Amino acid sequence: MLLPILLVVLVVYLFQKWTYSHWKRRGVPQLNPAFPFGNVADTFKQRTSYSNRLAELHHQAVRDGHRFVGIYTLLQPILLVTDVELVKRMLTVDFEHFVDRGAHVNEKRDPLSGHLFSLTGAKWRRMRLKLTPAFTTAKLKAMFPTMMACGRTLSAVIDDHVGRALAIRDLMTRFTMDVIASVGFGLECNSMRNPDELFRQMGGRFFSKSWKTSVRMLLAFVAPKVNRYLQVKLNDDDVEEYMLNLVRDTIAKREGGGEVRKDFIQLLVQLRNQVEVKDGGSWEMNKVDQNKTLTVEEMAAQSFVFLNAGYETTSSTVTFCLFELCRNKDLIRKVQEEIDRVMDGGREISYEALAEMTYLESCIDETLRKYPISPVLFRVCTKPYKIPETDVVIEKDTLVQISLVGLQRDTRYYEDPVKFDPDRYGERKSETMPHYSFGDGPRVCIGLRMGKVMAKMALVELLFRYDFELESPAADSGEIELDPSLLMLQAKHDVKLIPRFRAK
């Protein structure tokens, strides 16, 4: 009995020894792993988030003088890139070697995973080309009045809480959900007034705080090869069914000619029937084509990623930004003075007015630098790549990751990187300051401008009419504690702010 046990132990030992020598055998420096979690044991034990652990590994590699380093997630070898020039080359000049993100996608078993973020190769290129006209300035301007209706509701809700502590992230997730429901799906959600709205419950499940969500995210983005064997879906069956039925019903209304709205799903209906989104201000369809260029499942997947990308990015960005501004009264006054100047004479908030608020834009940029909502850039090598100035060749199918928390808080590129300093983006801004919160190159986030417009509009609604103070004075000198169970950056506890009407 003892001999078989010893043989099993020996096989396991030799297997992990061979697996964890992957990078050494290829002449790549590596950070020492430990079986069975590799370099991320604390993440699987929920002591720290994957993004923070990756940032720690980034800084360790920098201290050791490495431009790139090999690490392991479970038994999966990953190349962690720490040098900004190499990052820039991979995302732009040498993009053809790193076209795909390597995230989970299985359109047959998991139809909502077949969206622009995760699609690969030629299919991604075709979908990107089709969807790009949906995010032009003209389209965003046309959607803006719909967003503003949600902004007015936001102000009305805060009116009811003046002088009382308000859980700002919870409110901002409801605001963002209402905006996305309206401009993305053509729905009046109103979760700001009714937090139990079904659309909010279903849409928010993707980011719910649970061990199930954590495991799904890690498998989908950090260990996709493992997920191919386990076949774990990103969403529960009831969420998938709800989204598919919602899109199916909306298509029937729009193609039936009874409804035309200036929203994202109207553009998908155009695309489904007319091959391309119309330029300029046209939203109608000339015909309903029997030869559809998009399936219901493809439309649902694009709508679903529209929801997920906008939901977390906007709500967390506004929350983190308000937290930082409330800790520095000089900064919040400077932002409010700019808003007052642009809004002088009772001018209404408009797309053009937001574009004039350059200091507010700097505050959002600084928030996204310090708190990149998607804190890791994922790539997979799609064809062999020789790293410049080295003899190292990255093999096809190798996973590559870039820690944005590490890179954007790296003292080589940012002076006092923990400090919230919007003035970095004025005359002092340098090309050597890495800022990849929306990615870069051909796979830069297609909804970048829409996300920023939503965040700016929310902040203007809040800061034009109200002053805010932190409920806990101790928070003035501390950092936000981040949730260790989530892949994306999110506060472990909601930020409590007390709104008061501004004295003008």
**Pairing relationship of beta strands 466-470 and 393-394 according to DSSP bridges:** unpaired
Angle between helices 329-342 and 296-326 (to 10 degrees): 120
**pLDDT attached to residue 429:** 59
Reported as type and span, the H/E element at residue 298 is: helix 296-326
Q: Which of 229-238, 301-310, 314-323, 329-338 has the least mean pLDDT?
A: 229-238
Phi and psi angles of residue 35, each rounded to the nearest 5 degrees, phi first: -65, 140
Annotate 122-180 with DSSP letters as a single string: HHHHHHHHHHGGGGSHHHHHHHHHHHHHHHHHHHHHHHTTTTS-EEHHHHHHHHHHHHH
Neighbouring residues of 1: CB distance < 8 A, sequence distance ≥ 6: none
Spatial CA neighbour of 376 closest among 71, 113, 163 = 71
Angle between helices 358-370 and 296-326 (to 10 degrees): 100
**DSSP for residue 218:** I
Report the b/e string of 245-256 with b at 16+ CB within 10 A. Answer: ebbeebbeebbe
Residue at 54 is within a domain:
yes
Is 150 labelled a binding residue? no
Residue at 171 is within a domain:
yes
Euclidean distance between CA atoms 267 and 275, whole angstroms:
11
At 236, which CATH number? 1.10.630.10
159-187 per-position pLDDT tens digit: 999 999 999 999 999 999 999 999 988 89
- 475 has pLDDT over 70: no
Residue at 264 is within a domain:
yes
Specify the higher pLDDT residue, 232 or 107.
107
86-131 per-position pLDDT tens digit: 999 999 999 999 999 998 899 999 999 999 999 999 999 999 999 9
Q: Which residues form the domain of 204?
A: 22-501
Q: Which residues pair with 77 in a beta bridge?
A: 72
Q: Is the dihedral of CA 348, 352, 355, 359 positive or negative?
A: negative
Residue 356 structure tokens: 């004039």
Euclidean distance between CA atoms 82 and 77, whole angstroms:
16
- 214 has pLDDT over 80: no
Phi and psi angles of residue 240, each rounded to the nearest 5 degrees, phi first: -60, -45
Work out the burial of residue 32: count CB atoms within 10 Å of its CB; fewer than 13 is exposed, 13-18 middle, 19 or more buried: exposed
Where helices occur in 45-136 by DSSP H, the ranges are 50-63, 84-88, 121-131
Amino acid at site 413: Y
Q: What is the mean pLDDT of residues 326-339?
A: 95
Euclidean distance between CA atoms 308 and 220, whole angstroms:
15
The pTM score is 0.92
Residue at 5 is within a domain:
no
Q: pLDDT averaged over the chain?
A: 89
Q: Which residue has tokens 């069975």?
A: 36
**Pairing relationship of beta strands 399-403 and 76-81 according to DSSP bridges:** parallel
Residue at 6 is within a domain:
no
Euclidean distance between CA atoms 414 and 395, whole angstroms:
32
Euclidean distance between CA atoms 326 and 469, whole angstroms:
6
Residue 424 structure tokens: 């970095």
**pLDDT attached to residue 346:** 74
**pLDDT attached to residue 204:** 85
Residue at 181 is within a domain:
yes
Specify the higher pLDDT residue, 264 or 5.
264
Residues in the chain: 504
- Per the structure, how many domains does the chain have? 1
Neighbouring residues of 170: CB distance < 8 A, sequence distance ≥ 6: 195, 494
- 288 has pLDDT over 60: no
431-471 per-position pLDDT tens digit: 678 999 999 999 999 999 999 999 999 999 999 999 999 98
Residue at 409 is within a domain:
yes
Euclidean distance between CA atoms 424 and 264, whole angstroms:
34
Report the b/e string of 430-453 with b at 16+ CB within 10 A. Answer: eeebbbbbbbbbebebbbeebbbb
**pLDDT attached to residue 476:** 62
Q: Which residue has tokens 């006092």?
A: 416
Spatial CA neighbour of 373 closest among 45, 42, 47, 51 = 51
Residue at 206 is within a domain:
yes
Angle between helices 168-185 and 448-465 (to 10 degrees): 130
**pLDDT attached to residue 423:** 92
6: confidence class by pLDDT, cuts 50, 70, 90? confident
The strand order across the sheet containing 68-73 reads 68-73, 76-81, 399-403, 376-380
Specify the higher pLDDT residue, 230 or 191.
191
Euclidean distance between CA atoms 26 and 452, whole angstroms:
42
Percent of the chain, pLDDT > 70?
Answer: 93
Neighbouring residues of 193: CB distance < 8 A, sequence distance ≥ 6: 153, 157
